[in-house]
Each structure stands twice: as structure tokens, then as C-alpha cells.
Structure 1
Amino acid sequence: MTIEQIIILLLIGYIIFTIDTKQENFPVPTILVIIGICLVFVPFFDSIQITENIIYHIFLPALLFVSAYQFPIKDLKKNAGLILTLATIGIIITVFLLGTLTWLIAPIGFASALVVAAILTPTDPISVVSIIKKATGNDQIADTVEGESMLNDGTSIVLFTTLFSVANQEKSFSLISFLGEFLLVSLGGVVVGLVCGYLVSKIVHYSHHRQYQIMLSIILAYGSFLIAEAFHVSGVLATVASGMMISFEYGRAIKEEHFRESLDGFWKIVEISLLAILFLVIGIEITEYIAINFWLYALVIFIFMIIVRMFIVFVITKVVHQLPWQHQFLISWAGLKGSMSVFLILTLYAKNASGIDSEWMVAVSFTVVLLSLTVQSLSMAPISRKLLK
């Protein structure tokens, strides 16, 4: 992307965010994706491309860090059982069930169907969290959806990597090996993030200027991610853990209030700027891969995805944390797909695997993501008001 293209994309993002000042009229990221699809027909944007590395190493660390930093620690403690179960056991069972249903109707093997399921499992509630809060006034639903999303990104990458290797016949599947790798990668990422966050919370006192303290937070967001990746553990979970750790440390003393104010002001600007560019570019990128002859498959898989999601949420909330059925339904419906799914799709495309039908998988997955972003997010506000009026 050229600097001119970036500025134009930011301008478009500014206009859309400004129109929806109260964040309750429509899901801004979804509108940006739709606008991005329209921009494909403008020659000025022909050269815009986004790769899996750009999403993973530039966009995700910052977006995950700001979400984790701003996530209320008290709400995490209150809903920890439900969030952790949905983001771990829930996502693993979801992949198996959705993969099985996909395999029954798709012209691909079972292992490849599981890969598609792993792509379509991580949730991205950026489009709907603010709408849920405004429409329902219920923070628990929004906090559960947002907390699950931050944690299941790391889980989905481990699942995708393992299942792709099996589907591409690079290695055989072993449950014990998978669980061992899953625990190592996940817990290792969390440990790296907690250590980095704790160290930065102490080091920051040597910087008396707010600008330098903010600079240190940028180093933390990307540094924890890169350190974890260097140790072959989850950079995603490291960034989330570091953001939560520094939030926890600065929530313990009033004297840190000035730092939180500066940090909030900076990262809120970064968040909306990155979101504007990312979702506009996703809209531009997604049109290249969508094939009309695969839409029926995508529609059926989208319906399967909704059904499986609802089943998992209803079962887990019954066992772990009792909730009214209206809350269960909204948590299920809010589990739409976004940036992490797009990253996994582009990763699959970049690998150009010979052992699987990657063209079908990429086209169908992109179409399901588009359906999820439009159907689920655009209907979130009216459904929320209807169920909790």
C-alpha cells in the first residue's frame, strides 16, 4: 500500500466512525468491509494487497493489546470459568463438530474439513461489543464475548497449525501430542506475556515523561509478541497476557491514573485507525477469492456454524455458568468471524498445500466470513433489543 492509499482509507474510516458517533447505529467494521468490496471497482485501489504476515505481525498485536489492556480485570475474574471453557474446550469441540458436518456435504477429506472448521471457529466481536452494550445495557454478555475472543485466537492458531499438517500429510494426528503442544504453546505464551507485562510495569517508573511511557507500551505490545514467537509459543496469548498484566498492575494504585489516561488516549486512536484500514482492506481482498459456484456450500456451512456455536454455548453455560436463554442466544449470535479467520485463510492460501483442495477451502471460508460479518453483525442490534426489551 502507498501512503496515499493509506490516507484515503483512514479518511473513509474517519467518515464512517464519525457518522456512528454513539456506536449504536450499525457495526462499523462490517460497513467498512462492504465499502472495501465497492472500492475494488476503483482503479486507484487496484494495487492494494494484504498478506497473512501483515495481519499477524502488524495489526493483531496492537488490536489484541488494546483489547486486553482495556478489558476490566474484575469482569474477567467474574466470568473466568465461562470465558476459559468457551475459549479452550469449547473451541476444540466446535472444530470437531463443525468439521464433521462440513465433511458430510463438502467435496474434501475429513482432515481438510477440520481445517475449514478451525478457520471458522475464532470469534471477532469488535463489530458487535459496543452494540450489545448500547442495545441491552448488559455488560456480562459483551464481556463474555470479548474475553472469549481474546483467548480463543491463540487456541485457533494451534488447532489450525496441527490440523493443516495432518491434512497435508506432513504428520499423523496424535491426541496426546496435540494436547501437549497445545498446553506448551498456550501456557508458554501466557507466561512470556505476564513476565514482560510485569517487568514493564516496574521499568516505566524510570520514564517520567508520558510520551516515553507510551513508547514503552508499544515496545511491550509488539515485544512480548515477538519474544513469544521466538520461543515458538503463542505470541497472540503473550500480547493478551501482557496487556492484562499491565492493566492489573496499574489498577492497584491511584498514582498510576495519569499513566492510564495517557495510554488510553493513545491506544484508542491506534485501535480505530488500524480497524479502519484492516476492515477496508479485508473488503478489497475478499472479492478476489469469492467464487459464485461455491456459495451454496458456504451458506450451508454458515448455517452449520451457527447451529454448532449455539449448541456449544448452551451446553457450556448450563454446566459452567447458568444464564438465561436470551443471554445464551446473544453470546452465540455474537460469535461472528473476522480478522483472525482472514489471517488463517491467507495462511492456508500462502502455503499452497498440495495434499488438500486449498482453492475450494479458501473460497468457501472467505464467503462464510463475509456472511458472518454481514448477517450476524447487522442483525445484532435488533435481536438484542427484541430479546432483552
Structure 2
Amino acid sequence: MAVIAPVWISGLLGALILAIFVAMAVRWIRLPYTIALVLVGLVIGLLGDELPASENFQGLLSAEVIFFLLLPPLLFEGAAAMDLGKLARNWKIITLLAIPGVVISSIVIGVIAWQVVWPNHDNGLLYGLLLGSILAATDPVSVLALFKTLGAPKRLTVLIEGESLFNDGTAVVLFNILLVAVLATFIGQDMSVRELLVSGFVKFLFIVSIGFLVGFVGGILSNWLLVRTSDHLVEISITVALAFGTFLLAEILHGSGVIAVVVGGLMVGNHGTKFGMTATARVGLQHFWEVVSFLINSVLFLLIGYEVQAAFEFDMRTLVLATTAIVATLVARLIIYPLTSISNHNHPNPIPWKWRHTIFWSGLRGSIPIALLLLLSNMVSHGTT
């Protein structure tokens, strides 16, 4: 056949096959699956020319690919599987962690990064806050997988997964607000603290509202369609269209695609699948999205390891920045202790201390920070900043 397959197809297939072998191997080496994938990706990147096939991985991962192709299914799978009743019973602590928790964490990381990395720069604090917003979102996929194996308490799982679902949206919105402020400094339009707070708050409300409305309308429409069909293939197709469609539409309308997918997923997972689908179809839908989530996470974390090595030069400045980011992120994560104390006030079922420690260490970083870093790196390389 005269048709030659694009390089990215062989790279994607190679990443998938490698991820399958890693998934099988981690059962014997007792290492979290996602961490093992990142390490393998790092090794591939470090070997470079020694592995000719490694060049097929180049260019596979970009901010656009993560946001518009990989992220919507991951968000939808998590939201659709979330019990809305359990989420509602824990709304206080999840809201505290997902909104003020993200903002405070960004500020703490930003101040530390400012003092260590950009102490003498006029816009050092602003750069630090932008870095803080990038590192604020959590992605506890490996922790949740471990919870399933160990049979962890359902409420603890809801708390950690609920925080992750909603802090993604907050972090992306905060990043967009701070990015506008940073870009303004490059054209001589410095914003005062008051202007930044006011415009940021207004923009935050607008982005969140648009995302919520798009997800809500998409969820209603999807539920209406699910009730009117009994074909399981059509039903699965409806959820796929919802995941990608709400994200894309919300972004086109300058809203939050992350929030749109989460809202739509919650509505379909807690209403459409229960009242518009048979039990057999529900099981099929759940298995479909579990497989999709597994495949995406497998390829994603492998490519993250490769991209980290390939995209950044490991000089002293990078080492200082990386060390600062890690330390600052751990310090900022301490905010969960006072926030859980506030949530426990007059609560009939307070969060125990051992759960607080688990929540602290579950705050791993994943696809959102990588996507935002790649977006920022792409802007810098093209001379936008």
C-alpha cells in the first residue's frame, strides 16, 4: 500500500503498548502505576538518540491536545461516577478546598517563588502567582486507584475526588486571570492590586457562570435524549458528544470548559443513566469510560515523563525553580488543615485527623499543571511573553 502512516500514529501506538507492559509490571514491583509511567517516560527521554523510536514521541503532547482531547473524557468519567448525594453531604469541605483552598495555595506558592526565584524583579510577585495557579490543581488518579485496591472509606474517596474535580476549574480560571495581568505588563499596562482583584473577580464569575450554564443545558439535553433511546451504542455516543461538546462550546463562549464537563457529567451520571438507561446499558457505559480513562491516563503520564525531559534544560536555574516549586507546593498544601477544621465546626461527622493527613498527601499534580506549563512554554517560545 502506497499510503504511509503519520509518525504520530506509531508514536501513540508505541506509547500505548509500552504503557500496557508497565501496567503489568507494576504488580510485581509495587510502584504506583502513574509514577512508573512517568519514570519510564523520563528514561526514554534521557536515552534520546540511543532509542531511535523515541523520536516518534516528539510533539505528541501539547496544551491543545491535553485540553481538547485528553481532559474532557477524564473529567467526564470522574464526574459521571460521582454520587451527587454524597457530594452534596460534603459540599462544605469540597467547596473550601476547591475555591479558597486553590486561591490561598496559589498565593503561598507565589510568594515563596517570588522571594526565592524573582526577588528583585518588578513583576516577580505576579510571576510567582502565575506559577502558583499552575501548580494549584490536584490530580490524585494514582491515589484513587490505590484506594480501590485497599477498599478505602467511600467518604474519603468522595472528598479527594470531589476536590480534584472542582479545583481544576478554579485553577484554570485563576491562571487565565493572572496570565492577562502578566501580558498587560509586557505592553506597559500595569494593573493595580485593586484593578486585578475587581477585574479578576468579575472575570471569575463570568467564566464559571458560562461553564455552569453550558454544562447544565448540555446535561438536560443529554438526559432528554437518553430517555428516548434504548440503543446502548447511541447512549454511549451521547455521553461522548456531551463530554467533548460542552468543553468546546464553553471555551468558544470564553467560559470554563472544565466546569461545563463536570456539571454535565454529574447530571448524566446521577439522572440520565439511572432513569434513561437499562441496568445493562449502565454497566456498559461505566466500563467504556473506565477503559477510555485508563488508556488516556496511561499514554498521558508516559508522555509527561518524556516531555519533562525533552522540553526543559536541566541547568541550575531550573533546579532551583523545581525545588522551590516542590517545597512551596507542600507548604501551600498545609492549608487543608485549617480548612478542614472550619468544615468540622458543628458538623455531625467531622473529618478525622488521619483523613486530613491522607488528603494532604493525595494532592498530587497531573494533567492540568502540565497543560498550563506547555501553554506558557509555547507562548514564550513564540515570543508572546
Distance 2:383 2:196 in 1: 19
Q: Compute the displacement of 1:11 (Å).
A: 1.4
Task: State whether structure 2 residue 358 is matched by structure 1 residue 330.
Answer: yes
The 3 A distance-change label for structure 1 pair 33 and 242 is: same
Is this contact kept in 2: 1:119–1:345, CA < 8 A? yes
**TM-score normalised according to structure 1 size:** 0.85
Unaligned runs of 5+ in 1: 359-389
Listed as ranges, the matches of 1:171-186 within 5 Å are: 172=191, 173-186=195-208
Picking from 345, 348, 356, the partner of 2:373 is 345
Distance 2:111 2:98 in 1: 20
Picking from 20, 28, 51, the partner of 1:14 is 20
Residue 27 (structure 1) aligns with: 32
- The more displaced of 44-53 and 120-129 is 44-53
Q: Compute the displacement of 1:258 (Å).
A: 2.8
Q: Compute the displacement of 1:332 (Å).
A: 1.1
Picking from 266, 269, 273, the partner of 2:295 is 273
Picking from 309, 312, 320, the partner of 2:333 is 309
Distance 1:209 1:314 in 2: 48
Distance 1:253 1:201 in 2: 9
Residue 279 (structure 2) aligns with: 257
Residue 36 (structure 1) aligns with: 41
Task: State whether structure 2 residue 160 is matched by structure 1 residue 145.
Answer: yes
| AA matched with 1:264 | Q
Q: Compute the displacement of 1:277 (Å).
A: 1.1
Residue 87 (structure 1) aligns with: 98
Q: Compute the displacement of 1:102 (Å).
A: 1.3
Instruction: Please list the CA deviations of residues 50-83 of structure 1 after superposition, one character each: whole Å capped at 9, or x if unmatched.
Output: 1110111000011111111112222211211111
Q: Secondary structure at the match of 1:26?
A: coil
Size of the aligned set, in residue pairs, is 355
Distance 1:231 1:66 in 2: 23
- The more displaced of 11-20 and 315-324 is 11-20
Instruction: Please list the CA deviations of residues 256-297 of structure 1 after superposition, one character each: whole Å capped at 9, or x if unmatched.
Output: 423311211211111111111111111111102141413234
Distance 1:258 1:251 in 2: 11
- The more displaced of 115-124 and 205-214 is 205-214
Is this contact kept in 2: 1:250–1:260, CA < 8 A? no
The 3 A distance-change label for structure 1 pair 224 and 21 is: farther
Picking from 67, 71, 94, the partner of 1:60 is 71
Distance 2:323 2:162 in 1: 28
CA RMSD of aligned residues (A): 2.3
| AA matched with 2:21 | I
Distance 1:265 1:119 in 2: 32
| Max Rg structure | 2
Q: Secondary structure at the match of 2:136?
A: coil
Picking from 173, 178, 183, the partner of 1:158 is 173
Is this contact kept in 2: 1:76–1:147, CA < 8 A? yes
| AA matched with 1:30 | I
Task: State whether structure 2 residue 129 is matched by structure 1 residue 105.
Answer: no
Residue 87 (structure 2) aligns with: 76
The 3 A distance-change label for structure 1 pair 135 and 247 is: same
**TM-score normalised according to structure 2 size:** 0.86
Residue 295 (structure 1) aligns with: 319
| AA matched with 1:308 | A
Is this contact kept in 2: 1:198–1:249, CA < 8 A? no
Q: Secondary structure at the match of 1:137?
A: coil
Unaligned runs of 5+ in 2: 1-6, 345-349
Residue 4 (structure 2) aligns with: none
Instruction: Please list the CA deviations of residues 292-336 of structure 1 after superposition, one character each: whole Å capped at 9, or x if unmatched.
Output: 4132342233122112211x1001100013422221111011111
Is this contact kept in 1: 2:223–2:272, CA < 8 A? yes
Residue 320 (structure 1) aligns with: 343
Q: Secondary structure at the match of 2:296?
A: helix
Task: State whether structure 2 residue 227 is matched by structure 1 residue 216.
Answer: no
Distance 1:255 1:221 in 2: 18
Residue 380 (structure 1) aligns with: none
Distance 1:278 1:119 in 2: 18
Is this contact kept in 1: 2:214–2:249, CA < 8 A? yes
Q: Compute the displacement of 1:252 (Å).
A: 4.7
Q: Secondary structure at the match of 2:99?
A: helix
| AA matched with 2:330 | I
| AA matched with 1:44 | A
Picking from 264, 275, 288, the partner of 1:242 is 264
The 3 A distance-change label for structure 1 pair 296 and 104 is: same
Distance 2:40 2:223 in 1: 40
| AA matched with 1:157 | V
Q: Compute the displacement of 1:342 (Å).
A: 0.2
Is this contact kept in 2: 1:52–1:346, CA < 8 A? yes
